Amino acid sequence: MPTIWNTSSFLSAASNSSTESSKALIVLNLPITKPEIFYRVWRSCQIRYCADGGANRLYDFFDSDKERRQFLPDLIKGDLDSLRSDVRSWYEQAGVRVVEDPDQYSTDLMKCISSIQAHEKAISANLDIILFGGLTGRLDQTIHTLHYLHKLRTERDKVWVVSDDEVAWCLDAGEHEIPIDHGILGPTCGILPLGVTDAVISTKGLRWDVENWETSFSTQISTSNQLVSTEPVVKITTNRPVWWNVAIQDLAVSK
């Protein structure tokens, strides 16, 4: 059976915390510049954490305290070397739990994942995870995000990374189906063999489909491919883990 990856569960205008599977959001330390994407992802999640300086980004995104109180995270966690003192004070006064974890062998992202795992144990349920940010900014931090999610693929069902202009996730070896809402996604997309020496992939539903196509960083990679407007589903088969990314269109703000 193929694995189904439905981005509409958190990118659709109708998405909310009761839509399909339960989700957890981690806001990373990168600017939030596309309001509608942020609002849709936030609404779709049951719990919302900020990884250290991600709280600064959440705070600065809003113009008023009234708005900020409508978007309070459940937790701010990290070594707190990036969290501004004024932001920490404001959220603590608003009742948000702030946890300092000085462990230098784990990143702020890893610390938040650990707290999600503890929450899952407490509620006896598994959550899909959405990272907001992580695909822009410093290259080493972007690579860390990809590296860590590559490792998590064997432990968790679904972990997504959403940025201002795309959504990406790791496809493990096997068959995958990606329902496409052409009013939200596209047109560009790519399949990258990150974390493996090579992979053999087959696709259906793309402008330039491939069959048993060998891909690696030393030979050829699939970038700047395109969705086909008449195809409702993209199908991908791979013998090794690969990264799939697809553009998010400009969405009208509805809050």
Residue 23 neighbours by CB distance under 10 Å:
22
Could you give the CA distance from residue 52 to residue 27 in angstroms, rounded to a whole number?
9
Number of separate helices (H) and strands (E) present in the chain? 7, 15
Q: Using 50, 70 and 90 to split pLDDT, how confident is the model at 195?
A: confident
**Mean pLDDT, residues 31-35 taken together:** 93
Residues 6+ apart with CB under 8 A from 236: 171, 175, 176, 178, 191, 201, 202, 203, 242, 244
**Mean pLDDT, residues 247-253 taken together:** 86
With tokens 């790791």, the residue in question is: 170
With tokens 């995104």, the residue in question is: 61
Please give the residue that has the higher pLDDT: either 92 or 253. 92
Q: Using 50, 70 and 90 to split pLDDT, how confident is the model at 7?
A: very high
Could you give the CA distance from residue 84 to residue 59 in angstroms, rounded to a whole number?
10
pLDDT surpasses 70 at 17: no
Cβ contact 255:39 at 8 Å? yes
Residue 134 neighbours by CB distance under 10 Å:
24
Cβ contact 90:59 at 8 Å? yes
> What confidence score (pLDDT) does residue 67 get?
97
Can you say how many angstroms the Cα of residue 111 is from the centroid of all Cα atoms in its chain? 16
Whole-model pTM: value is: 0.94
With tokens 């006896």, the residue in question is: 124
Could you give the CA distance from residue 220 to residue 188 in angstroms, rounded to a whole number?
18
pLDDT surpasses 70 at 254: no
Cβ contact 68:93 at 8 Å? no
Cβ contact 101:93 at 8 Å? no
Note the pLDDT tens digit of each residue in 48-74. 999 999 999 999 999 999 999 999 999
Structural domains of the chain, with CATH:
13-164 (3.40.50.10240), 165-250 (2.60.120.320)
By three-state DSSP, how is residue 39 classified?
helix
CA-CA-CA-CA torsion for 99, 61, 33, 115, nearest 10 degrees?
A: 20
Note the pLDDT tens digit of each residue in 213-222. 999 999 999 9
